[in-house]
Amino acid sequence: MLLTANNLSFAYATKPALRDVSITLDAGQIVALLGPNGSGKSTLIKCLLGDLSPTGSIVWENTPLVAWPRRNLAKHVAYLPQTPSADPQSRVIDVLRLGRAAHWGAFGIESAQDATVIAEVTALLGLNDLLSRPLDTLSGGQRQRVFVGRCLAQEPRALLLDEPSTHLDLKHQVELLQLLKRLAAERQLGVLMASHDLNLAAAFADELVLLMEGSIATKGPADAVLQPETLEKVFGLPMERLHLDSGRPGVFPRL
């Protein structure tokens, strides 16, 4: 098991944000975190990265999170925030290079391995023609690919994404999820992503985790989780469920 987190609870000042959340992530598995704004998706991801310190236990690859040196963890777990950042004047290659920061030697000296990995990531994401372009000349979709590239340059075993498709159009959203699916299948990458899109998550994730006010309302395969009654309770909206031609369930607010 890549990740085992048990009984996580966390409060900002006095406001509880996570209550007794347990979650696991396996190699090659895609897990989607769903739930309304403020339900604890981002808080959970920050706890798993060690940015926040909840009560409970977090174990990455059989080692408790607190025992991981930051630099080693960066070689195993990568993180893509909702709005990734970089020096606005940097070129694509600068951003990708920074993904190797945990692997550099003293004085930031790079190894041949660093160059190989970046070449590989560049090819995988089709960034070859963009390498020397300044970041601020790219489209939203290209930008997103560069930041996914920075994560992959870390050669992680797990990738945590916080609403990665928020700023993307439908085509780019689907392409990103297809890429994650491929990486999960081909490289056994474990993917944990917070998402607002129930139907896309259902189409790509192996497991859905539905959060409500910091607790897990329900989790499991899409078919079991996406029940109108549960969703109504969580989102506070009347919902209806359709059976799509593809056989997947589709859920929509009843308007």
Partner 1 sequence: MKPFTADQLLKSILIATGIWAVVAVACMMVGSTGRIEWPKDDVFEFRRDSILITSLIGAALASSGCVYQAILRNPLADPYLLGVSAGASLAAYVWRLTSFAGLLAILGAMSQQAFAFLGAMAAVGIVFALATRRGRIEPITLLLVGVIVNAVCGSLYLLLIQFNKSPAGSGSEMAFLVGGLQTSLLPEQKWAAVTVVSVGWVILLYFAGWLNAAALSDDEARSLGVGIHLLRWISLIIASLMTASAVAISGPIGFVGLVAPHMARLLVGVDQRKLLPLSTAFGAILLCVADSAGRFLAHRSLAGQWLPVGVLTGLMGGPFFLLLLWQTRRRE
Residue 207 Cβ vs partner 1, minimum distance, rounded to whole Å: 23
Where do the DSSP E strands lie in 13-112? 15-25, 30-34, 55-60, 63-64, 77-80
Alpha-carbon distance of 253 to 240, in angstroms, equals 6
Q: Does 246 bind partner 1 (CB under 8 A)?
A: no
Residue 222 Cβ vs partner 1, minimum distance, rounded to whole Å: 28
18, 49, 58, 226: residue in contact with partner 1 (rule CB under 8 A): 49
Q: Does 13 bind partner 1 (CB under 8 A)?
A: no
With H, G, I as helix, E, B as strand and everything else as coil, classify residue 2.
coil
Q: Does 114 bind partner 1 (CB under 8 A)?
A: yes
Q: Does 73 bind partner 1 (CB under 8 A)?
A: yes
Tokens of 60: 């990455």
Q: Does 157 bind partner 1 (CB under 8 A)?
A: no
Nearer to partner 1, 2 or 234 (CB): 2
Alpha-carbon distance of 110 to 242, in angstroms, equals 53
Q: Does 27 bind partner 1 (CB under 8 A)?
A: no
Q: Does 111 bind partner 1 (CB under 8 A)?
A: yes
With H, G, I as helix, E, B as strand and everything else as coil, classify residue 191.
strand
Q: Does 61 bind partner 1 (CB under 8 A)?
A: no
Cα 47 to Cα 9, 20, 59, 67, 205: the distances in Å are 9, 13, 12, 14, 21
Alpha-carbon distance of 246 to 202, in angstroms, equals 12
Q: Does 166 bind partner 1 (CB under 8 A)?
A: no
Alpha-carbon distance of 150 to 204, in angstroms, equals 22
Q: Which stretch binds partner 1 (CB under 8 A): 7-15, 96-104, 195-203, 223-231?
A: 96-104
Contacts with partner 1, residue ranges (CB under 8 A) = 46, 49-51, 70-75, 77-79, 81, 84-87, 89-91, 93-94, 97-99, 101-102, 104, 106-112, 114-115, 118-119, 122, 131, 150, 154
